Amino acid sequence: MNEKFNQQNAQQLRFCQSCGMPLTDQVLGTNADGSKNEEYCMYCYKDGKFLQDCTMDEMIEHCARFVDEVNKGLPQPITKEEYIGQMKMYFPHLKRWRQAMKVTDDAMPENPALAPTRITAF
């Protein structure tokens, strides 16, 4: 059930597969041939290359600085630490990090809290 929900969500809302920010046509990254890349944002991906050569943890630290922006869209503000905690569960499922973290689609947890356990198992 959750899986179906995720798929529907994915169709309606696209997220950058590197930093997790919502993708709109205005912020799409670009491929080497100048066409738009539908999977990454312009802050992560330009001319067919990633702009930052960083680890997933470094990306999370980078994104944590924008917690105030995230809070604008939330009914209840979260702390930077809570935001980091959520990203650490979520980011291993983004395309850019999935390979590095050896998380497969099969391991996509119904409960995100299970993700760190599975990563450690590898």
Question: How many Å from the N-terminal Cα to the C-terminal Cα in the chain?
Answer: 26
Taking the C-alpha atoms of residue 79 and residue 7, their distance in angstroms, rounded to an integer, is 28
Is residue 67 at the binding interface for Zn ion, with CB under 5 A as the rule? no
For residue 51, give the DSSP letter. Answer: S
Query: Which stretch, 5-13, 38-46, 60-68, 77-85, contacts Zn ion (CB under 5 A)?
Result: 38-46
Is residue 115 at the binding interface for Zn ion, with CB under 5 A as the rule? no
Report the nearest approach of Zn ion to the CB of residue 94 (Å): 9
> Is the distance from CB of 63 to CB of 20 less than 8 angstroms?
yes
Half-sphere exposure of 2 (CA within 13 A, CB side): 5
Binds Zn ion (CB under 5 A): choice among 18, 28, 70, 97: 18
Is residue 63 at the binding interface for Zn ion, with CB under 5 A as the rule? no
SS3 of 15, please?
strand
Is residue 44 at the binding interface for Zn ion, with CB under 5 A as the rule? yes
Report the nearest approach of Zn ion to the CB of residue 96 (Å): 9
Report the nearest approach of Zn ion to the CB of residue 57 (Å): 16
